[in-house]
Structure 1
Amino acid sequence: MSKQLRIGIIGAGDIARNAHIPNYQNYGEDVHVVAVANHNKEKAIQCADTFSIPYAYEDYQSMLEEMSLDAVSICTPNKFHADQAIASLQAGCHVLCEKPPAISKKEAENMAQEAERAGKILTYGFHFRYTPEVETLKKFIDAGELGEIYASRAHYNRRRGIPGWGVFTNRELQGGGTLIDNGVHMLDTVLYLMGYPEPKTVLGATYQKIGNRPGVGLLGEWDYENFSVEDMARGMITFTNGASLTFESTFAANVEETSSKNVTLMGDQGGADLFPLKIYQEKHDTLLDSTPAYLEKRDVYQHQVHHFIDSIMHDSQPLSTAREGVIIQAIMEALYESAKTGEAVNL
């Protein structure tokens, strides 16, 4: 008889409703979402009714104590990730936590240490790893087609893409703005493709130039009077292996494209751009640009959740690890510190 997994959801907002709950429920008969918790009990009840989840809680601690859960998805503001993940791990649950891991390196370290102590999976919602572009490029990299990757750049820019919902513009609850919301996706993606090298120094700058005044909102109206996060973040990271990375993300900037994201890798045997995927090489005295003839379309959130379940079922390492969460959190924390002091931060 196959293992039956009991799943709990902490948080009942859009990411829980759109990315997590449906994809647990479409995995198969071995997986059951049995409870959802939200600090607003009415919202938890509405979510439970919508998805036919048996139990709704106001207090996630009570859910952990009473429901004999095997795994938990954490879909709450960043400020709460560490406490909720650690409590879930201590309750014997595997954890899929939405990005970013936390709001400080120390919190991410505590989460990783607890996962190791508990012998449970702690993984993060870096769903771009599951895109066919990343999956395909990773195969080329692992086969040595790019050689030593020594330089890279990544960006995730929006022209007027300040979120008009949730708490994305609230520093107290989120810990930051574009860097840890949309920017963290491309930062994780480029680090993943580079093999998550150990960071050495971080030099960064952040700006709040557009979000603190009224204007066009392509993602809805935001509370500009209480906008307390950066709308642009830029940085340069060096690594102990000699590689370097330049990075940029924006909620709002005066650029041409409404939304643009990409990773560029430069190796001694080849290079690549990710979106759209193109590989650059020199072979037989010829400069070659290679593009896939076909890439499948896929629901990356479904792949992410199903991979999490498979990792539990087969006792295997997930694609995104707790230790990688510590590294990316350290880089982001250092970028914020560098932006504050105007000096490079040594890690």
Structure 2
Amino acid sequence: MQKLQFAIIGCGKIAIRHAEQAAKHGSIAGVCDIINERADELASKFNTQAYYSIEDLFTDVKNIDITAICTPNGLHTEHSIMALNAKSNVLCEKPMSISGHSAIEMMQAADTNNKKLFVVKSTRYNPALAELKKIIIENKLGKLFSFQLNCFWNRPKTYYNDWRGTLKLDGGTLYTQFSHYIDAMLWLFGDVKSINGFRKNMYHKDVIEFEDTGSASLEMENGMIGGLNWSVNTFEKNMEVSLTLIGEKGSVRIAGSYMNKIEYQHCDATELKNIFDGAANDYGFYKGSMSNHDKVYENMLIAMNDNTHPFSNAVDGLKTVELIERIYQTIPLS
């Protein structure tokens, strides 16, 4: 069987996770970054060719099966469309884009080229969250009444350089830090009907163009009432990403620094079990969500040949982008 050929566009910190999995499941035909040193370093580490422009990559390398897009948020649309037009399937890092319109353009390019467009939704593979999804599907918590999603991390002012902190390339805190957890909320509870809330820049006024703190009250289409609180101002390190769920037949709280531990459960006829604590993506002076890219790649490769396999696709990516966009449009920065 012929090995799959992968390419990686964008050679920053998250690209390492993709390169590790691409090398495990196939061969890396090339990596690309406009910062030559980054491309050279990743290429050297994985014994492949470095490219400094996307045009050169796709001119030189033919028959790329999957291209991973790991560039800044605001470039995901342009770079995904370039890969799709080069007849490559695409795995796009979160967020899919920073506007609903541009996400739809990506989907149209995938349809035009008859290629698949996947979006990284790695938090769905957190064991605690996957177990919660299972018992919700099985209706073991009965009618769901309410939830509270808290996302409290630390991002120091020194984190925000280059593209980070800009509306054009970063987009906002919900896009860059917390879109995985917005996706988890939609995955568990469905669509949002109405939004109210507040957004403020409390500490990063001189370095970012959007909020560092926010709170939203949500009414869901299924009748649930929810709360979403977020901040990147916790002292020195990440504090928690937690989800508290109250249902007719049980109450559950999943917490930890990245929604990785069952902290509380009291249910009528079920128990969340077989849960282990996985590692976070560690970027040196800050940490991110749980490192589940192994599960992302395993499931993506199944979905490549099985359209019924439950893997996060462009529709899932669009839903997350559209909700964040709605939150930002509904709640002005004050």
Q: By the TM > 0.5 criterion, same fold?
A: yes
Q: Which residue of 2 aligns with 1:295?
A: 276
1:170 aligns with 2:166: yes
Q: How does 1:166-205 map to 2 (within 5 A)?
A: 167-176=163-172, 178-194=173-189, 197-205=190-198
Task: Tell me, in whole angstroms, the C-alpha distance in 1 between the residues paired with 2:183 and 2:310.
Answer: 15
Match of 2:248 in 1: 268
Aligned to 2:328: 336
Which residue number corresponds to residue 207 of structure 1? Answer: 200
Consecutive unaligned residues in structure 1, runs of 5 or more: 213-224, 343-347
- What amino acid sits opposite 1:61 in the alignment? E
Tell me by how many angstroms 1:208 deviates: 0.7
Partner of 1:16: 15
TM-score by length of 2: 0.85
1:62 to 56, 60, 69: 56
Within the candidate set 266, 276, 289, 1:280 is matched to 266
Q: Distance in 2 between matches of 1:341 and 1:226?
A: 15
**Deviation of 1:268 (Å):** 2.6
Cα deviations by residue, 1:58-90 (Å, 9 ceiling, x for unpaired): 111332343221111110101100111122222
Deviations 1:85-124 (A, max 9, x none): 1222222222111111111111112222333443332222
Change (3 A) 1:140 1:161: farther
Partner of 2:90: 95
Taking the aligned partners of 1:193 and 1:127, their CA distance within structure 2 comes to 14
2: CA distance, partners of 1:130 / 1:137: 11
* Counterpart contact for 2:131–2:272, Cα < 8 Å: no
Q: Is the 8 A contact 1:236 1:246 kept in 2?
A: yes
Q: Which residue identity lines up with residue 60 of structure 1 in the other structure?
A: I
Cα separation, 2, equivalents of 1:314 and 1:3 = 18
Say if 1:158 and 1:251, in contact at 8 Å, map to a contact too: yes
Aligned residues: 315
Change (3 A) 1:83 1:317: farther
Change (3 A) 1:262 1:211: same
Measured against aligned partners, the alpha-carbon deviations of 1:287-339 in whole angstroms (never above 9, x if no partner) come to: x8x45365374751221122222322545545212112221111111111122
TM-score, length basis structure 1: 0.82
Distance 1:132 1:334, change over 3 A: same
Cα deviation per residue 1:144-187 (whole Å; 9 max; x = unaligned)?
112233422212102555562663322221111x2112221221
Identify the residue that residue 230 of structure 2 maps to in structure 1.
249
- Residues 65 and 246 (structure 1), Cα distance of their counterparts in 2 relative to 1, 3 Å cut: farther
8 Å contact 2:302–2:309 — kept in the other structure?
A: no
Whether contact under 8 Å (2:127, 2:275) holds in the other structure is no
> Are the aligned partners of 2:74 and 2:169 in contact in 1 as well (CA < 8 Å)?
yes
Taking the aligned partners of 2:318 and 2:28, their CA distance within structure 1 comes to: 29
1:238 match: 219
Asked whether the 8 Å contact 2:251–2:265 carries over to 1, the reply is yes
